[in-house]
Homo-oligomer: A and B are copies of this chain.
Amino acid sequence: MPHNQQIVLDNRPQGEAVASNFRLVLTDTPALEDGQVLVRHHYLSLDPYMRGRMNEGRSYAAAQRLGEVMMGGTVGEVVESRHPRYAVGDKVLGMGGWQEYSVVDGAAVGALRPVDTSHVPLSYYLGAVGMPGVTAWYGLVRIIAPKEGETVVVSAATGAVGSAFAALAKARGCRVVGLAGGADKCRYALQELGFDACIDYRQYAGDVKALSQALKPACPNGIDGYFENVGGPIMDAVMLRMNAFSRIALCGMIAGYDGAPLPMRNPALLLINRTRLEGFIVSEHMQVWPEALTELATLVGAGKLRPRETVAQGIAAAPQAFLGLLKGKNLGKQLVKLI
């Protein structure tokens, strides 16, 4: 029975999330029962949606419960199996949480998915060829549904979702414009991710008009589709440049997770532009995953989607890495390497 270090949610954030919201716990993995599988996690995924779950109250997902292991996606390896479908050494994707090991019911539908690491690195199944990639795919393909030549914009452009969004949109002949925090990120967006333009929103410090002005030369034909990860003044600025019959895929509003709701400054623009806006959660659209993952893996294989990763070492580093993600300190997918 190996030791298992875990991170549990100790208390809920009052405003901004802090390290003391989390607690490191040391346990032993239990002896397996029939049908169970023991997975050793190689990588833990850190994602902005986790911040929303730390709050109490109404959201689309049940709140993370106090004293329980933080939920989260993991990739790893079967190290013990009492289920015939899984053998020791199998590489699997699951929702193992912020811990080194997890015990999984091998019969539970969708709890573990075997992954093929012969062409795609294991960690990519948490990023470009995983939930964030499919998130980008759903918002772009099913909500924005761009025509060739249209201009699409994404906030948090250099994150795991934004990176995949750029590759998918370029494959459809779109002009792709990113919003990111800092000159380094914008350079990366242009040089490696295929963005046609990238705006460093930090230069405009919440000045909606100035940011909107900066978008003008980047989007000379206006904006047809917007993939929203952030909310707040960035969204307000983008909305000022949107075209008639534009579409907004509303995926995240990370800017408002810490406190009072962040308003939308001028919702009448949605009427003026006859915009269609749709909020979505990718886990509710499992039917698109096979098609989306196939395209994402093909783009990775062809070198058209070259995701970067920011990797923290060891489970104890997870809280600080997560807080850094919320502040935009990562470049690309934020992971924690556990082995």
Contacts and interface: CB of A to CB of B under 8 A. Distances in A.
A270 B244 contact: no
Interface string A232-262: 0001000000001000001111001000011
A14 interface: no
Given A281-B274, A284-B274, A264 B267 contact: yes
Interface in A49-74: 58-60
A281 B271 CA distance: 8
Contacts of A288: none
A266 to B, nearest CB: 4
A272 interface: yes
A327 B297 CA distance: 58
A277 B270 contact: yes
Contacts of A21: none
A53 to B, nearest CB: 12
A310 interface: no
Contact of A252 (B251, B263, B271, B279): B271
Query: Which of A250, A261, A267, A281 has the largest number of chain B CB atoms within 10 A?
Result: A267
Contact of A279 (B59, B263, B274, B284): B274
Contacts of A279: 270-276
A270 B228 CA distance: 12
Contacts of A59: 272
Contacts of A276: 276-279
B267 A253 contact: yes
A47 to B, nearest CB: 15
